[in-house]
A and B are shown apart, each in its own frame.
Chain A
Amino acid sequence: MPAPALSPTAPDHPAQPQRPPTPLGLLQLFLGVALVGIGGGLPAHTRRALAARGWLTDAAFAEAFTLAQLTPGPNAVNLAAMVGAHLCGPRGAALAVAGILAPGLVAMLAVSVITLGLPGGLPPTFQSALRGAACAALGVMLTAAVPVVQVALGVRGGAVLMGATFLALAALKLDLLPVLAVVVAAGLLLNRPRSGE
């Protein structure tokens, strides 16, 4: 899910770097980010943790965050890989990704074993609870979509391209890759660099 915008966080003044970034330090930082980031907002937590250690300026962070949204895959994990690579090279990237995934992986595996492994399926009460949670998850997803839709509507041709993508995937059930190719090609054409701009 795209995380909420970063702007409305508390004013963070980058402290003096107490220690230089190390791969193990990155592992520790991102383990912490994962644990406080239950329910989302991981990029905001990442920014705060990095600023507190004085490891990354806000400008460098904004650059990494933009790039994390442009590369495929979950933003928060992409961001961890990028920050890790930027600060400590490939080993930093590997340990940053391990850190942000580990707590959730353990928890998710435990829950999967219980919910999927029961003979005869889940108890009805648990199924009802899961259905309720799924409804709320839809609400979570829509709140995350609001800023994305707003930004997309501000782009040249954004409304039409967004609508076309929605119809192609939801109503026509087309394969995603051809839709991506057509929509992005149309978007590039509409927003092509113009001489004199």
Chain B
Amino acid sequence: MSADPWDILLTFTRLGLVSFGGANLPEIERVLVEQKGWITPQVLAGGFALGQVMPGPNMLAMTHYGFAAGGWWGAAAATAGFYGPTALLSAAAMLAWQRLSRWRWLPPLRSALLPFGAGVLLAGALVLGRSSLHSWPAAVIAVAAFVLLQRTRVNAAVVVLGAAGLGALLGL
């Protein structure tokens, strides 16, 4: 069931280049679960959760998906593909920024990208909700985590680990 590393590299490169702000879960689900069949919805949700408790960027879930799709080479290809080209693009953009900052279309571009990014985030929440909210206790945990994070300064990793403990106890 091991996918071709080249295919993984190209697929994750494309996923990286179309994700603004990080998690582009609707597209990740469409491509990895429905189109390629490399991962199941359970691996999608599980990897996303693992990403929340790892040091560094949350989207290290991509490494997890790559490993699920093609073992060690898959993990390497997914990581290089998702992070490499976008990092290169960012470094190049930084070096061009001084000239861009006076461009009159820059504020409109920012205004156009913001609602798009917000829509993607909300669609991503729905994707994640569909694959993880299968019972009332699950929904309560999600709402409780949201309220706790909104109202207090508690670390998100602590909340996720606490929910993992609850999940194990309740046998979700």
Docked Cα-Cα span, A71 to B88, in Å, equals: 10
Given known contacts A63-B101, A139-B145, A168-B119, what 11 new A-B pairs fall within 8 Å (CB)?
A: A70-B109, A73-B22, A77-B87, A85-B92, A100-B56, A101-B79, A108-B61, A113-B67, A162-B116, A165-B118, A184-B109
B-side residues, CB < 8 A to A, are 16-24, 26-27, 30, 43, 45-46, 48-61, 63-64, 67-68, 75, 79, 82-83, 85-95, 97, 101, 104-105, 107-129, 131-133, 138-139, 141-150, 155-168, 170-172
The listed residue (A67, A105, A138) touching B79 by CB distance below 8 A is A105
Instruction: Say yes or no: A78-B90 contact (C-beta < 8 A), given A130-B167, A136-B142.
Output: yes
Residue of A nearest to B58 (CB): A1
Among A1, A139, A188, the residue within 8 A (CB) of B21 is: A1
Complex Cα–Cα for A102 and B160 (A): 22
* 10 pairs of A and B residues whose beta carbons are closest in the complex: A132-B167, A165-B119, A187-B112, A73-B86, A139-B145, A39-B157, A104-B56, A136-B163, A39-B156, A152-B118
In the complex with contacts A34-B55, A69-B20, A138-B145, A193-B121 CB distance below 8 A? no
Q: How far is the CB of A190 from chain B (nearest CB, A)?
A: 8
CA distance A132 to B160 in the complex (A): 8
Among candidates A135, A163, A188, residue contacting B142 with C-beta atoms closer than 8 Å: A135
What are 8 A-B contacts defined by CB distance under 8 Å?
Answer: A70-B93, A101-B56, A115-B46, A132-B164, A137-B160, A138-B125, A140-B52, A141-B125
Which residues of A approach B to under 8 Å, CB–CB?
1-2, 34-35, 37-40, 42, 63-64, 66-82, 84-86, 90, 93, 97, 100-105, 107-109, 111-113, 115-116, 124-126, 128-146, 148-149, 151-153, 155-166, 168-170, 173, 175-177, 179-180, 183-188, 190-193
Min CB distance B116 to A, Å, is 5
Contacting residues, chain B, for A132 (C-beta < 8 A):
138, 141, 163-168, 170, 172
Decide if B93 touches A187 in the complex (CB within 8 Å): no
The answer to whether A152 touches B97, judged by C-beta atoms less than 8 angstroms apart, is: no
Residues of A within 8 A of B43 (CB): 116
Residue numbers in B under 8 Å from A186 (CB-CB) = 112
Contact, CB under 8 Å: A138 / B133: yes
Task: Across the interface, name the chain B residue whose C-beta is closest to A84.
Answer: B91
Taking A140-B149, A187-B112 as contacts, is the C-beta distance between A71 and B168 under 8 angstroms?
A: no
Which B residues are in CB contact (< 8 Å) with A78?
86-87, 90
Do residues B160 and A133 form an inter-chain contact, with CB atoms below 8 A? yes
User: A138–B90 contact, CB under 8 A?
Assistant: no
Q: Are A72 and B16 in contact (CB under 8 A)?
A: yes
CB of B22 within 8 A of CB of A1, answer yes
| B63 touches which of A1, A64, A112, A183 (Cβ 8 Å) | A112
Give the residues in chain B near A86, CB-CB below 8 Å. 94
B91 close to A107 (CB less than 8 A): no
Q: Give the shortest distance, in Å, between A96 (CB) and chain B (any CB).
A: 9
Partner pick for A136 among B18, B87, B123, B145, CB 8 A cutoff:
B145
- Please judge, given known A-B contacts A108-B50, A162-B122, whether A136 and B79 are in contact too, CB under 8 Å: no
